[in-house]
């Protein structure tokens, strides 16, 4: 059980210090991954950015990811039987939201270049792993040197799914409980992270990077 995302981030940071001497970029999954990502980026003295992607939910089960969309790309992982019309409409709707988030997050900064770098993708936990799997595929198209997934908690089925993906170099997970139902059950405090808080995390990381080159 984690006290909150800060506690989880500190514990996770201890496990990934072996990457400190590498050319690292920390990519947090917004918004819940940002408190953890900020702690990890500071510990590794690495830049912090967000994986600006969003899942496409199945038309009859919105929580089930059939793929993911970025501002300029799309990956489908399990879209059998889903019409192209639905996918096109959802892509258009999601990109509108992503553009709004991009405009909010990158007012005075630019996305970090991940080419030939060790990318550590951080979230506050995963359930099925489908959304993260699609995000990994999108990140891999930006040709990083390797991708590491760092999460506090996930079920064994999701961990195996990620470990069996050739795009992933390593999965670091603190707890793999057998009774997993939802990420929030393993946090004493698990309130939603607002866009305003997310922006503050990114701005503080950007300021730190400038003052400590």
How does pLDDT run across 163-174, given as a tens digit for each residue?
999 999 999 999
pLDDT attached to residue 21? 92
- Each residue's pLDDT tens digit, 89-122: 999 999 999 999 999 888 878 899 999 999 999 9
Tell me, what's the pLDDT at 208?
A: 53
Residue 145 within any structural domain of the chain: yes
135 closest CA partner among 35, 195, 55, 193:
55
- The helix/strand/coil state of 210 is helix
Q: How many CB atoms lie within 10 A of CB 200?
A: 13
Assess if residue 75 is contained within a domain: no
Based on its alpha-carbon atoms, the radius of gyration of the chain, rounded to whole angstroms, reads 16
Q: Is residue 130 part of a domain?
A: yes
- Does residue 69 belong to any structural domain of this protein? no
Domain that holds residue 169: 5-52+112-207
pLDDT at residue number 207 = 60
| Average predicted confidence (pLDDT) for the chain | 91
Model confidence band, residue 213 (pLDDT cutoffs 50, 70, 90): very low
Is 199 a domain residue?
yes
Q: How many domains are contained in the chain? A: 1
Residues 6+ apart with CB under 8 A from 4: 35, 187, 188, 189, 190
CATH of the domain at 128: 3.40.50.2020
Q: Specify the pTM.
A: 0.89
62 within domain boundaries: no
- Residue 95 domain flag: no
pLDDT at 211: 42
Rounded average pLDDT over 188-204: 92
pLDDT (tens digit per residue) in 47-63: 999 998 888 999 999 88
Residue 105 lies in a domain: no
CA distance 38 to 27: 10
- What's the pLDDT score for residue 183? 95
């Amino acid at each position: 059980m984690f006290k909150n995302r800060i506690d989880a981030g500190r514990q996770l940071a201890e496990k990934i210090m072996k990457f400190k001497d590498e050319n690292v970029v920390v990519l947090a999954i917004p918004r819940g991954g940002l408190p953890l990502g900020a702690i990890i980026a500071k510990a590794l003295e690495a830049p912090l950015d967000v994986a600006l992607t969003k899942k496409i939910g199945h038309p009859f089960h919105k929580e089930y990811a059939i793929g993911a969309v970025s501002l300029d790309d799309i990956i489908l992982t399990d879209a059998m039987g889903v019409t192209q019309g639905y996918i096109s409409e959802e892509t258009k709707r999601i990109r509108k939201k992503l553009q709004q988030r991009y405009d909010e997050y990158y007012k005075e900064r630019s996305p970090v270049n991940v080419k030939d770098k060790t990318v550590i993708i951080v979230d506050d936990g995963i359930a099925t792993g489908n959304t993260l799997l699609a995000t990994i595929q999108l990140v891999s198209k930006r040709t990083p040197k390797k991708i590491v997934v760092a999460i506090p908690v996930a079920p064994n089925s999701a961990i195996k799914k990620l470990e069996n993906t050739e795009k992933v170099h390593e999965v670091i997970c603190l707890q793999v409980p057998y009774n997993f139902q939802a990420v929030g059950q393993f946090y004493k405090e698990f309130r939603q992270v607002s866009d305003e808080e997310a922006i503050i995390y990114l701005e503080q990381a950007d300021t730190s990077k400038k003052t400590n080159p």
